Amino acid sequence: MALFFTSDTHFGDPRVLRIDRRPFGSLAEHDLALVQRWNERVGVDDEVWHLGDVARGDRARVEDLLARLHGRKHLITGNNDGPGTLSAAGWASVQAYAEMEVDGRFLVLCHYPFRTWNRMGKGAIDLHGHSHGRLKPATRQFDVGVDAWDCRPVTLDEVLAARRRRASN
């Protein structure tokens, strides 16, 4: 089983094509590409933490979408997650914030980036979305949103390796 993180998929939301300048000709193309890229990375037995702003639409639409996406899915709620997303069957859990340990690293998960977070001074890592890849990187703080990761979920190791590559250049 692998563990993935993602955020800000905004399925069914036409604003992402305009505001975020995602490279798709239509919303249908956008949604299909994101589902394909998700399922290329995530296996049915993997776990995904989605850090908010999943989809626009009613409960039935969101449930259909979740059924098409591989993995056991957890939702950290975002500012654009409406009642259809929050109440949809298909989530293993729904909460505004979570903390966990992965491979000996303490993680803080929230849709929003923090200036400070729990155990920050002890090496804790903040994973977030919301900023669509536009924030200046901060120490041990990482945007896991699709705009920062070629429209795909990522592992913690991939996130940390990318920061190391940038630091060495």
Q: In this predicted model, what pLDDT tens digit does every residue of 156-166 receive, in sequence order?
A: 999 999 876 65
Please give the pLDDT value at position 166.
57
Query: 96: domain CATH number?
Result: 3.60.21.10
Residue 73's φ and ψ, nearest 5 degrees, are -110, 130
The residues that bridge with 117 in the sheet, in sequence order, are: none
Dist. CA 110–CA 127, nearest whole Å: 7
Domain carrying residue 146: 3-168
C-alpha distance across the termini of the chain, in Å: 32
pLDDT over 90 for what percent of the chain?
86
Cβ(100)–Cβ(75) below 8 Å? no
Q: Enter the tokens of residue 56.
A: 């626009």
Number of domains present in the structure of the chain? 1
Low-confidence ranges of the chain (pLDDT < 70): 164-169
